[in-house]
Amino acid sequence: MTRLAICPGSFDPLTVGHVDLVERAAALFDRVVVAILVNSDKSPLFTQAERVAIVREVFAPVKNVDVEAFDGLLVDYADRRGAVAIVRGLRSATDTDYELSMSLMNRHLKPSVDTVFLPTAASVAHVSSRLVKEVWRLGGDVGGLVPPVVEARLRAMRAMDAPAR
């Protein structure tokens, strides 16, 4: 039996913290689906198609990782995919509060899909998509916070003088 786990999120943008989490999940489970939430933010940095393309490119070398977009309830998607677990990273006590209530709600909705928490690597515990977005929008350097492919796209976006999204 293939034990499949879902790594869900907005991934706007994908950060080095996400990469650490997905790679560790891929070492624990037979297959991992990185599930990108559609329309999570009214003013996303990257479109859904861009996020899917970026995440696919970054995880292309990891053979047991697939990438998909999803909409609606996460537990319904996880159930359709036959997942045994949802994997989420924990950076802090604040994360724990939020993640615990989300996992309990998900378990209430679909007891067959459990949540597995992985403590984030200490070296990336300060990294979040929200802060990366803020730093970038204010002209800061996001090198080392996101994979090189994301950094290159952000640099190109700035070079084109794209209006702040």
Residue 15 near ligand PNS by CB under 6 A: no
129 tagged catalytic: yes
Tell me: cis bond preceding 147? Omega within 30 of 0 counts. Answer: no
- Give the number of residues in contact with ligand PNS, rule: CB under 6 A: 10
Least Cβ distance, residue 80 to ligand PNS (angstroms):
13
Which are the contacts of 141, defined by CB distance < 8 A and separation ≥ 6?
135
Residue 9 near ligand PNS by CB under 6 A: yes
Least Cβ distance, residue 123 to ligand PNS (angstroms):
20
Residue 67 backbone dihedrals phi, psi, to 5 degrees: -130, 130
Which are the contacts of 68, defined by CB distance < 8 A and separation ≥ 6?
33, 34, 35, 36, 52
Applying CB under 6 A, the span of 3-11, 22-30, 44-52, 141-149 interacting with ligand PNS comes to 3-11
Applying CB under 6 A, the span of 7-15, 20-28, 131-139, 148-156 interacting with ligand PNS comes to 7-15
Catalytic residue among 24, 31, 51, 91: 91
126 tagged catalytic: no
- Give the separation between CA 121 and CA 163, rounded to whole angstroms: 34
Q: Which ranges of the chain would DSSP assign to H, the alpha helix?
A: 16-28, 48-59, 74-80, 93-109, 129-137, 148-159
Residue 8 near ligand PNS by CB under 6 A: yes
- Give the separation between CA 8 and CA 122, rounded to whole angstroms: 21
Least Cβ distance, residue 34 to ligand PNS (angstroms):
11
Site for ligand PNS in 74-103 (CB under 6 A): 74, 102
Name the site residues for ligand PNS (rule: CB under 6 A): 8-10, 37, 40, 73-74, 102, 105-106
Catalytic residues: 18, 42, 91, 129
